[in-house]
């Protein structure tokens, strides 16, 4: 089912983006809705539409089946999909640093991945457990030496995980950046555990496609990715505006007036945490969407070592870097100025 569809498409090309979340738009992906509300899709002659296939594995299968043309997915998910025979290929690197990690409550005696042996761990989406298992394996912790326990509530919310973590019922979480923002909003600032693997391999999510026909349409690929680069610049400057724009674009997720202030604060924390992993700095290089062949090889080596994947492929099969220069043809300063000037409608 298609949700959050645009209004009149006029002469624009409809683009369906699959978001790896259940049911409907959410704060973690609000910047996709904001890109459309700001007209960044319209600037490219496009009209974004969104579907919600559920967890990342289901979204990868929906992309391969042609239900959507693009999907933002963890790099691990893309490589695992290739292992399953799904023809996914990335065209834009999104998260420029690790956006998943292990965390514990501040006073936990657990100080390293090695001390997770014999402990219980919760993961927001089970399809990402192979990534966690690979990181644990690199530090000598084999499958079976820890226990996966269910995430309490939906993986899109942290509220029901507070009590189990504080009571010790759950020892640690393997979370994504937006979870950290949600935990912070709920009053629990978790302590991140160092990881040899996750701290070494930085580029951790991409925009993927599966159709050769879509990939051959350079204007389409560049247009979608450039709209996302622009909204990332906008959101880093004004994360609260991203939530306001999501509500404008997707009124079905707009909270009642009595909850608006609370949900705006929560959403702003989530967006800030989410977009922080997308920002550029001296360590990432100056270009939005770039990923080197060496970085993709590092991901392959990581997953091959743990047995999560078994075949080594040319890194160019996983990532098409030919669009990056054109994606970066926009005025980031102008976008930042627009973010600073934004006022809710």
Q: What is the DSSP string of 44-60?
A: GTEEEEEE-BSSHHHHH
**pLDDT score recorded for residue 94:** 92
Mean pLDDT of 36-62: 97
Model confidence at 96, in pLDDT bands (50, 70, 90)?
A: confident
Task: Name the more confident of 200 and 208.
Answer: 208
**Listed residue (40, 76, 53) closest to 1, CA to CA:** 53
Q: Indicate if the pLDDT at residue 306 is higher than 60.
A: yes
CA atoms of 178 and 277, how far apart (whole Å):
10
Is the separation of the CB atoms in 189 and 79 below 8 Å? no
Bridge pairing between strands 191-192 and 46-51 = unpaired
Is the separation of the CB atoms in 63 and 54 below 8 Å? no
Mean pLDDT of 64-70: 98
Average pLDDT, the chain: 93
Mean pLDDT of 117-145: 93
Fold of 2-97+203-341: D-Maltodextrin-Binding Protein; domain 2 (3.40.190)
Task: Name the more confident of 204 and 259.
Answer: 259
**Bridge partner list, 48:** 15
Least confident of 54-63, 90-99, 147-156: 90-99
Spatial CB neighbours of 91, under 8 Å, sequence gap ≥ 6? 206, 207, 208, 209, 215, 221, 225, 289, 319, 320, 323
**Bridge partner list, 71:** 208
Mean pLDDT of 319-338: 97
Distance of CA 276 to the CA centre of its chain: 11
**Listed residue (339, 323, 334) closest to 271, CA to CA:** 339
Q: Residues of CATH 3.40.190.10 domain(s) within the chain?
A: 2-97+203-341, 100-192
Model confidence at 2, in pLDDT bands (50, 70, 90)?
A: very low
Q: Indicate if the pLDDT at residue 10 is higher than 80.
A: no
Alpha carbon distance, N-terminus to C-terminus of the chain: 29
Task: Name the more confident of 140 and 98.
Answer: 140
**pLDDT score recorded for residue 1:** 39
pLDDT digits (tens, 9 = 90+) for 183-206: 999 999 999 999 998 888 776 799
**Listed residue (165, 280, 208) closest to 53, CA to CA:** 208
Q: Indicate if the pLDDT at residue 281 is higher than 90.
A: no
Model confidence at 127, in pLDDT bands (50, 70, 90)?
A: confident
Q: What percentage of the chain reaches a pLDDT higher than 90? A: 81
Tell which phi-psi region holds residue 30, choosing left (phi > 0), alpha (psi between -120 and 50) or beta: alpha
Is the separation of the CB atoms in 50 and 19 below 8 Å? yes
Quote the CATH superfamily of domain 100-192.
Periplasmic binding protein-like II (3.40.190.10)
Task: Name the more confident of 8 and 178.
Answer: 178
Task: Name the more confident of 334 and 4.
Answer: 334
Q: Indicate if the pLDDT at residue 220 is higher than 70.
A: yes
CA atoms of 312 and 333, how far apart (whole Å):
41
Helix, coil or strand: residue 276: helix
């Amino acid at each position: 089912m298609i949700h959050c569809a645009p209004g009149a498409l006029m002469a624009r090309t409809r683009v369906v983006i699959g978001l790896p979340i259940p049911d409907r738009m959410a704060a973690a992906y609000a910047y996709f809705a904001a890109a459309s509300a700001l007209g960044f899709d319209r600037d490219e002659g496009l009209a974004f539409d969104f579907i919600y296939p559920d967890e990342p594995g289901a979204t990868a299968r929906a992309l391969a089946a042609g239900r959507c043309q693009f999907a933002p997915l963890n790099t691990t998910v893309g490589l695992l999909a290739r292992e399953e025979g799904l023809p996914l290929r990335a065209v834009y690197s999104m998260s420029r640093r690790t956006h998943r990690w292990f965390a514990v409550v501040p006073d936990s005696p657990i100080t390293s991945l090695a001390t997770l042996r014999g402990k219980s761990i919760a993961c927001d989406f089970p399809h990402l457990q192979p990534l966690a298992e690979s990181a644990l394996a690199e530090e000598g912790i084999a499958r079976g030496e820890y226990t996966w326990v269910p995430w309490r509530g939906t993986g899109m919310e942290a509220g029901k995980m507070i009590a189990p973590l504080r009571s010790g019922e759950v020892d640690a979480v393997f979370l994504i950046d937006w979870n950290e923002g949600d935990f912070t909003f709920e009053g629990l600032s978790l302590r991140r555990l160092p990881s040899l693997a996750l701290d070494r391999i930085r580029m951790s999510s991409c925009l993927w496609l599966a159709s050769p026909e879509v990939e051959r349409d350079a204007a389409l690929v560049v247009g979608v990715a450039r709209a996302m680069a622009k909204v990332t610049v906008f959101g880093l400057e004004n994360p609260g505006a991203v939530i306001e724009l999501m509500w404008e674009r997707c009124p079905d997720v707009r909270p009642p007036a009595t909850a608006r202030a609370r949900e705006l604060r929560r959403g702003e924390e989530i967006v800030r945490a989410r977009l922080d992993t997308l920002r550029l700095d001296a360590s990432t290089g100056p270009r939005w969407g770039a990923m080197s062949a060496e970085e993709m090889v590092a991901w392959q080596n990581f997953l091959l070592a743990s047995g999560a994947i078994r075949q080594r492929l040319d890194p160019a099969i996983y990532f098409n870097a030919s669009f990056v220069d054109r994606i970066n043809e926009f005025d980031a300063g102008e976008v930042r100025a627009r973010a600073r000037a934004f006022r809710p409608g």
